[in-house]
Structure 1
Amino acid sequence: MTLEINKSYHGFRLLTVKKIKEVASTTYQFEHEKSGARLLFLENKDDNKVFSITFRTPPTDDTGVAHIVEHSTLCGSRKFPMKEPFVELVKGSLNTYLNAMTFPDKTMYPVASRNDKDFQNLMDVYLDAVFFPAMYTQPEILMQEGWHYEIEKPEDELTYSGVVYNEMKGALSSAESLLDKEILTSLFPNTTYGFESGGDPEAIPDLTQEMFIDFHNKYYHPTNSYIYLYGDMDILEKLAFLDQNYLNSFDRIAIPSKIEEQTLFTKPQKITKEYPIASTEQTQDKTFLSLNAIVGKATDAEEMLALEILEHALLKTQAAPLKKALIDAKLGKDVLSSFEDSLLQPVFSIIVSGSDEKKADEFQKIIQTSLQKLVKDGIDRELLEASINLLEFKLREADFGQFPTGLIYDIKLMNSWLYDGDPTMFLYYEAALQKMKDGLKSHYFENIIQTRLLDNPHKTIVVLKPNQRMAEEKEVELTKILAQAKEKMSDTELAAIISLTAKLKERQETPDTPEALATIPLLELKDIKKETEALIQEKRVEDGTDILFHAVTTNQIAYLNLYFDVSTIPEDLLPYAFLLSELLGKVSTQKHDYGSLANTLNLHTGGISYDIAAYTKNAKPDSLLPKFKVQAKSLVTKLPKLCELLTEVITSSTFDDEKRVRELIDQCKATMEMYMIKAAQQLVAGRLASYFSPAAAYNEKGMLSFYDFIVDFDKNFADRYSQMKEKFAELQPMIFNKQNLLVSVTLEEENYSAFTQTFKQVQSALSIVNYPQQTYSFAIDKKNEGFMTSSKVQYVSKGANFIKLGYEFTGSMRVMETILRYDYFWNRIRVQGGAYGAFTQFRRNGNMMFGSYRDPNLTETIAVFDETVDYLQSFAISEREMLKYIIGTMSTLDTPLTPKMKGELAAECYIHGVTELDLQRERDEILATDQKAIAALGTLVKACMQQNNLCVLGSETKIKENEIVFGQLKTIFD
């Protein structure tokens, strides 16, 4: 495509054209002359196209207005006058990504699709939503998405509800999230970053309809917008569409959205805050200490890269010297770090968890003296080189999993574009990487430590300590505030709120008209591929080992997965097997101490990880195929070194360093405690499945049960450490055994021989002893546990195994997932119940689960699950709506896969015994699904719900109030 700089195309003046080899793209930067909208187009051959419109949205309070507006713009608009166009798109689009995101200073609305027609539809709906939302004339939208008083009868208690209100109650129940909030507040007392853009639940009820509308009116204008297009498309067609349908309606105006800089402190500041824990938890060793600093400007791309490297080298690798100094000083259980570069003034944080507030001064002193020593003596060059190499590997690999590549580039380029810098600066990296490598020959990195961390006066120490009474006190205070608010209301005012509550419920329960639904553009069945994607896989045998070879173009990267069958491990050794997977690669070997091992791995590979997972055979719910999984990757040219290091770790790791094992146990415990709050939804679902699935019960041994094991290990370290060494000696030849190895390798055909030649050294080092298969006696029973925490919201899950109840898996269940998640559950649990969301899951092995997350309710949600059968058995919609659900379901099947993901999908299908024929049958059944098929599934759901398998994690108060529904109550943390 040849376009001329300074020439206008459909109202857009072309400003710059650049070829950027690092992202294999040509960038075109435009400005819309009438409206002032900015636009950047990354032209390349990627068929997974991305569109995004971003607005600079700096909040000036903690009401969460930016977040609530983000939710609300997608609740109806000028051209699409239904309640939730966003949901209708999810139901019936082939999108590969569809979301909206609130950041501390911006709001992004990205979409992606591989289908041209679908992509155009997504753009249209999103643009109409942001520029012409229904929120101006429908106050119920703020009530639903933000907050509202809820009361149905005069004698009832007054309560708060709202999706964002409950979402943020859940988000800020986590100590980690609260710490992030307090860090920004401490560093930015005078700018927008000092406010919680997501919303503080205590401040959200201060948001009025007028403030809500004013925020949108102020910031959601093309002059304040950043439009982004990525992929293989006709850009002139897109420019014409944007101009004619949207931007031409607006004139350029002045918008005061510029992000102001924080005036730097003259000396460090210290603040102490509290976070809630359950009333039964101990407070000892549960304080977080953090040292935080503003470190330069986001638009200094080179320095940002250097700080990213320094964070990894000093704090994230096993060889990290600053982390080691803090651990050696026994200041806490684990050392964490954060480098937040998506702010005008980026923030670098060093954090110790599991500490005590009395250690704050020593914490600060250790950091100071350690950094001074590093500057004086110099940072180990191999350590820095290893961190640079690992970052370079990731940049060149550009594998972002299920996130579209174009989306990640969009988020990255906003780090300069939003602050009036060159939007392309972060897409280049070759010159900056070379500068980093050249910096190894000078004091480049030491100078950055000196200027940005040591000499920098703009630092804060944030101490976040636990409080057992805080959650209860907050609830009492909230009850008091609401009671007082109700007392002050006149009868007329109370009646008005009751009327508004009723009006909101009526709106929520009234379905959109067929005419409104018809405004959402819809694809046709002919737009959908009928054939499933082929599994790229060929089974070969090398020296007696089965090899699953995936001939995929990987840009000279080799992806290697080893699956060791561990059904030979006795049941009593399973906790130790999970522990082994945690420790490998973090302890010394016979050749390297753990620090030099980490450096060597980072110098020569893209990483090696270890995990245990139990699989099931297709449609056999009681089958159990446990695997010890090793995942590794490197450049093809580095395969010999990768195989050498892999062999070294799995065959010669040593566990004689008691101090090191002690540190790793502490770190494991601290990491799990943060994960269990952050990923409560997955935790609860896994525990629930263990009630009725042997494979899930096996996997659960690495989740909550493993946490109990680690807690016990920590309390009785001397005895457990001695036992551990004995158990590991038993386990290692059982696990790393040639007799039970399956290998999956993904790379180009011409590089396969390079793999076979080098992999021989791994094979030759493995045990060849035959071990007997074990029989496991997991307690597969209905425990119905209620796990109590200081959380202010619940994670509710209910399910069963439908194959055991006499049913079979069909593709129609996938369509039912879409229908329930985005219609029945969306309306009943999210819209009417105020939860952040709900999910459904129907697996080939028969496991089915319903779940809610960040949910203010408990028994009400269980009732919604139980009543699903009524919804299904009376299911009746138009053919158009049925088609919509089918299309939306197909989008989940056709997500673009990276080379790594293609290999893993094929390998895991092989392990599960799922064939291309099975996948095609599922696809055909999805495409053939009709209302009758959905209604017929009601009996299956009813049978599953009648099993009454239930698991909940949530508020200690709420769970105790509903104790009758549980078999047993437990506190997760001691």
Structure 2
Amino acid sequence: MNLELNKIYHGFRLLEEKDLKEINSTARLFSHEKSGARLLYISNDDDNKVFSISFRTPPENSTGLPHILEHSVLCGSRKFPVKEPFVELVKGSLNTFLNAMTYPDKTMYPVASKNSKDFINLMDVYLDAVFYPNIYECPEILMQEGWHYEIDNKDSDIEYKGVVYNEMKGAFSSPEGILFRKIQESLFPDTTYGFESGGDPDVIPELTQEEFLNFHRTYYHPSNSYIFLYGDGDILEHLKFINEEYLDAFNKIDINSKIPEQKPIGSLKEMTVEYSISNDEEEKDKTFLSLNTVVGKATDPELYLAFEILEHMLLSTPAAPLKKALLDAGIGKDVFGVFDNSILQPVFSVVVKNSNEDRKDEFVEIVNSTLRDIVQNGLDKKLIEASINIKEFQMREANFNGYPKGLIYGIKCMDSWLYDENPYMHLQYEDTLKKIKTALTSNYFEVLIEKYLLNSSHSSLLIVKPECGLSEKKAEEVKNKLRGFKEGLSESEIEELINNTIKLRERQETPDSEEELERIPLISLEDIEKNVEGLPTEKRKELGIDVLHHEMFTNNIAYINMYFDTTSVERELIPYVGLLSGILGKVNTETYSYQDLTKEININTGGIENKVEIFGEKGSFEIFHPKFIVKSKVLVDKLPRLLQILREITCASKFDDKKRIKEIIQETKSRIEMSIINNGNVTAVNRVYSYIAASGKYYDLVKGVAYFKFLSELERDFDKRADEICNNIERTFNSIFNINNIVIGITCDEAGYNRFRDNLEIIQKGLRTESPSYQKYDFSLEHKNDGLMTSAKVQYVAKAYNFRKLGYEYTGRLYVLKTILSYDYFWNKIRVQGGAYGCGLSFDRFGKIACSSYRDPNLIETIKVYDETYKYLQQFNVNEREMRKYIIGTISMVDTPLTPSMKGERADAYYFSKVTLEDIQKEREEILSTTPKDVNNLSGLIRDCMNQNYVCVLGNEEKIKENRDIFNELINIFQ
């Protein structure tokens, strides 16, 4: 479509038009004449359309006001007065993305959909939410989403409750969470970045209703907005809609929201903060050390990209010289880097985990001496080439782990647009990359290191150290504070708090009226595709190897997954399968040192990674197929080189470098430790599955809590058991990488396949050929009901069983049940009324089903909700429109857009699980035809599964001990 510069279209003046060749798009920048809104439209042929409206929202304290407001505006508005339009959209739209995000200086409200009618509906609800929220008429919204005093009667204790309050209690339970939040505080004492935009739980209860409303009045105006649209939509239709329905009602005003720049703080600033560990844990080797430096501005595209590459080069690969220097010195057991360029003044951080405070000076000296040595003697040019290549591959591939491309591009645009600069500077990377590639023949990166890191006058040393029982101490302080607060209240003031609690509960428990619900726009079932998308799979035999070819356009990239059967591994070595997935490709081979191997991988490929996956089998809850997967991607022209590298890794790896093996064990344990709390619901669910299914037990041994405990033992005893450990790794390696164990999945076009076939001999000739001895694992499953104790201030509560064991069959209607429970019954009971941050139902076609909560202040109360779910399902009765809404939301979930690599992996999973296209079509038909009666009929399945009482809770030590009668065993997970 041709539009004229400086011409007005539906109130929007076209200011600029740019060809963005890097993403095959045209960018048009507009200004809304009447309201002052800014709008960027990136047009292309992507049918996964994205809309976002963002506001510059600089916090003035750490009450979490921007974050609480982000939650609250989505709790009803002028046109859509239901309590939670956001949830109604999740339940009843074809969105491919729907969320809102709070950053340190901005708040974003993005949505995405492939359906044009649905896309307009999503825009409508979100625009009404941000400009006309119900927060002015309903103070209970702040109470629910932010915080409130909760008291049931005059004899009860007062408590703090609120969704964001509990969310941030969970965020501040993780030492990594504290670390990343305090880095900005240490560097930006005089600007908005010195405050916690998400909210510090100690400060959140200082937020008043007046401050809350005033923040919205100040910043949620079109003059302070950034509207982003992306995809193949009708640009004029969208501009017309936004203008006529919303922006035309506003007049331009001046809003002072500019983000001020922090002046350099001078000499290295040292800051120490504490985090809580359980009383039984040792404080030794549990300190984080972080050296943080401000690097220019996010509006410098060259620095923005160069430091992303430099962080990878120095700290993110096995060949990273700064990481190696710190590990060699024994400063800590894990080293990683972070380059945060989503703020005005980006920050480069070097982090050492599992260290001690008395090593802080040595830490700083090693970082600086290593960087000085690099400046003096130069970086390895192959390392530079490798890091540039892997970054360039990622940018050109534009594979964002299932997130819509437009969403990621929109976030990148805000990294300059928010600061009044060209919004697409970070999408136009070709010229910037050319400048950076001069590093291959110059001292480009060495100059950057010297200028921005070694000679910085804006750096901090952050020490995050453990303190036993700090969580309990703080909880007691809060109790005493609230006790004192109550003692200072009059009877009438206490009565007012009780009435406020009652009013909030009444609002939460009162269902929306049918009339209000019908205001939420809804497409018809006729707008939904009735047939599933076929995933192309052709099984071929090449040189005796089964190959699954998924032919599709991949932009000249070949995605190759090698699946090795691991049932050839002896029972006692199963945990070593998990360990091998973390080691392979990171140790020496017959030809390469592990550093040189890393460089070869990154120079020649788009990356190689390993993982262990367990595939169930259709029709059975007992049979499972564990696979060791070597995943890789490469430009088709470099396929022969990839296969040579894969052969080196899978056929010639060496496990005799004990120091290196120990480093990997420590790093792997550290990374799992980080994920246990951050993904606590997943940890708890998978632990319950280990009680009820052989596949769950296997998962626990290679990825779960049992694996974490295994790694902890290996790390503790490594020096005594080094020979045994290295020998067991080699035995496991030799058992897996055998020609008889392999199936290969490849996703690319036919020309790419031919090149793969012509070079397959490279790896085929290297694999072992002896006949493996396959094991039949006979696991003894125990009803454990573990309480996994941590110092966290919240819980992750899981209850699960296997419905096939009870005689129930799998049906696609379970997907609809998941939507109903996750966004209706559980949402209302566990999140809205209970104050948890998240909750949901999960299941698989092999029988496992689980209820779980996330950052939950409760424990036994949540289990009671699970146990009473069947009663809700027995009484479930909704009209046609509501049932249609649940079905549409379910289809949205199962129709998540897939990249070519994801399609290939899903097709492989169907193959191993013996799932056919007919099975998937039947599942879809069951979803589309689900009735309230079908939901009623699933009540027995849920009732019988919950009655088995298989539970696991990860959470606060004190809370778990208070409820010890529901557990068979209490485990201090980090001891």
TM-score band by shorter chain is: over 0.9
Partner of 1:895: 896
Partner of 1:108: 108
Q: CA deviation at 1:337?
A: 1.0
Distance, in Å, in 2 between the alignment partners of 1:592 and 1:40 is 49
Q: CA deviation at 1:614?
A: 1.8
Partner of 1:811: 812
Q: CA deviation at 1:777?
A: 2.4
Amino acid at match of 1:713: L
Is residue 2:447 matched to residue 1:447? yes
Distance, in Å, in 2 between the alignment partners of 1:896 and 1:575 is 34
Distance, in Å, in 2 between the alignment partners of 1:691 and 1:362 is 46
Amino acid at match of 1:728: I
Is residue 2:508 matched to residue 1:471? no
Q: Secondary structure at the match of 1:934?
A: helix
Q: Secondary structure at the match of 1:744?
A: strand
Equivalence map 1:101-500=2 (5 Å): 101-500=101-500
Q: Secondary structure at the match of 1:52?
A: strand
Amino acid at match of 1:248: D
Distance change in 2, residues 1:514/1:128 (3 Å): same
Partner of 2:617: 617
Is residue 2:558 matched to residue 1:558? yes
Is residue 2:643 matched to residue 1:654? no
Q: Secondary structure at the match of 1:152?
A: coil
Distance, in Å, in 2 between the alignment partners of 1:725 and 1:829 is 47
> Quick check: 1:401–1:897 contact (8 Å CA) kept in 2?
no
Q: CA deviation at 1:676?
A: 1.3
Q: Secondary structure at the match of 1:112?
A: strand
Partner of 1:799: 800
Q: Secondary structure at the match of 2:655?
A: coil
Q: Deviations over 1:567-594 (max 9, x none)?
A: 1211101122221111111111111111
Partner of 2:536: 536
Q: CA deviation at 1:718?
A: 3.0
> Quick check: 2:469–2:791 contact (8 Å CA) kept in 1?
no
Distance, in Å, in 1 between the alignment partners of 2:590 and 2:751 is 35
Distance, in Å, in 2 between the alignment partners of 1:814 and 1:659 is 48
Equivalence map 1:718-757=2 (5 Å): 718-757=719-758
Partner of 1:643: 643
> Quick check: 1:733–1:769 contact (8 Å CA) kept in 2?
no
Q: CA deviation at 1:729?
A: 3.3
Range 608-617 or range 111-120, more displaced: 608-617
Amino acid at match of 2:605: T
> Quick check: 2:73–2:135 contact (8 Å CA) kept in 1?
yes
Q: Deviations over 1:366-414 (max 9, x none)?
A: 1111111100111111111100000010011001121000000000111
Equivalence map 1:454-853=2 (5 Å): 454-702=454-702, 703-853=704-854
Distance, in Å, in 2 between the alignment partners of 1:838 and 1:627 is 30
Distance, in Å, in 1 between the alignment partners of 2:960 and 2:4 is 66
Q: Secondary structure at the match of 1:271?
A: strand
> Quick check: 1:733–1:766 contact (8 Å CA) kept in 2?
no
Range 575-584 or range 222-231, more displaced: 575-584
Distance, in Å, in 1 between the alignment partners of 2:104 and 2:604 is 37
Partner of 1:67: 67
Range 348-357 or range 613-622, more displaced: 613-622
Partner of 2:873: 872
Amino acid at match of 2:754: S
Q: CA deviation at 1:705?
A: 1.1
Q: Secondary structure at the match of 2:760?
A: helix
Q: CA deviation at 1:439?
A: 2.5
Question: Where do 5+ consecutive residues of structure 2 fail to align?
Answer: none
Distance, in Å, in 1 between the alignment partners of 2:220 and 2:279 is 45
Q: CA deviation at 1:727?
A: 2.1
Q: CA deviation at 1:296?
A: 0.3
Q: CA deviation at 1:730?
A: 2.4
> Quick check: 1:278–1:956 contact (8 Å CA) kept in 2?
yes
Equivalence map 1:8-27=2 (5 Å): 8-27=8-27
Amino acid at match of 2:342: S
Distance, in Å, in 1 between the alignment partners of 2:272 and 2:2 is 59
Amino acid at match of 1:473: K
Distance, in Å, in 1 between the alignment partners of 2:287 and 2:640 is 45
Distance, in Å, in 1 between the alignment partners of 2:675 and 2:896 is 27
Partner of 2:88: 88
Distance, in Å, in 2 between the alignment partners of 1:332 and 1:89 is 46
Q: Secondary structure at the match of 2:768?
A: coil
Partner of 1:922: 923
Distance, in Å, in 2 between the alignment partners of 1:548 and 1:683 is 32
Q: CA deviation at 1:185?
A: 0.5
> Quick check: 1:48–1:112 contact (8 Å CA) kept in 2?
yes
Distance, in Å, in 2 between the alignment partners of 1:524 and 1:669 is 49
Q: CA deviation at 1:440?
A: 2.2
Q: Deviations over 1:576-631 (max 9, x none)?
A: 22211111111111111111111111000111111222211013111121111110
> Quick check: 1:14–1:28 contact (8 Å CA) kept in 2?
yes
Partner of 1:950: 951
Distance, in Å, in 2 between the alignment partners of 1:725 and 1:361 is 34
Q: CA deviation at 1:733?
A: 2.9
Q: Secondary structure at the match of 1:800?
A: strand
Q: CA deviation at 1:896?
A: 1.1
Q: Secondary structure at the match of 1:834?
A: coil
Q: CA deviation at 1:720?
A: 2.6
Amino acid at match of 2:164: V
Q: Deviations over 1:250-273 (max 9, x none)?
A: 000010100000011121111111
Q: Secondary structure at the match of 1:888?
A: helix
Range 935-944 or range 568-577, more displaced: 568-577
Distance, in Å, in 2 between the alignment partners of 1:263 and 1:931 is 62
Range 928-937 or range 260-269, more displaced: 260-269
Partner of 1:54: 54
Q: CA deviation at 1:428?
A: 0.7
> Quick check: 1:298–1:344 contact (8 Å CA) kept in 2?
yes
Q: How many residues align?
A: 974
Distance, in Å, in 2 between the alignment partners of 1:372 and 1:403 is 40
Q: Secondary structure at the match of 1:338?
A: strand
Q: Deviations over 1:213-252 (max 9, x none)?
A: 0011100000000000000011011111111110000000
Distance, in Å, in 2 between the alignment partners of 1:759 and 1:542 is 8
Amino acid at match of 2:126: Y
> Quick check: 1:619–1:846 contact (8 Å CA) kept in 2?
no
Distance, in Å, in 2 between the alignment partners of 1:606 and 1:177 is 30
Q: CA deviation at 1:317?
A: 1.0
Distance, in Å, in 2 between the alignment partners of 1:670 and 1:93 is 40
Distance, in Å, in 1 between the alignment partners of 2:262 and 2:354 is 31
> Quick check: 2:283–2:466 contact (8 Å CA) kept in 1?
yes
